Amino acid sequence: MDEKQQEIIMGLIINGGNAKGEAFEAIKAAKEGDFETADEKLKSADEFMAQAHNAQTGMLTAEANGDHAEVNLLMVHAQDHIMNAITFRDLAGELVDLYRKLATKQ
């Protein structure tokens, strides 16, 4: 694996982890009734996910152009981080909405 590919993979892991962390912070803020912060955290999570998505798109484009990437455990780990972050972000959005709905009924 060359240094450029390793940097891309580490970027995927970092951005996926940051997106998941921000989504978790959004849930915590919503639970406390701070929906402005929750919305900001979800937006931040989306920004981290966009960075990860752009890196993935670059890798997919290179692959489609015949520049085959070496698939190794680190690459699998990075993709796992991204998949978990996407799922967690989606769930966080639903939980923030649920807390918002509950707050309006109280």
Tell me if residue 77 is catalytic. Answer: yes
Is residue 13 within 8 A of residue 78, CB to CB? The reply is: yes
**3-state DSSP helix/strand/coil % of the chain, to nearest 5:** 85, 0, 15
39 assigned binding-site residue: no
Active-site residue, selected from the candidate residues 53, 68, 77, 81 = 77
Can you tell me the distance from the alpha carbon of 41 to that of 25, in angstroms, rounded to the nearest whole number? 6
Query: Contact at 8 Å (CB) between 27 and 96?
Result: yes
Q: Which residues are annotated as a binding site for Mg(2+)?
A: 80
Q: Which residues are annotated as a binding site?
A: 80
Enzyme catalytic residues: 77
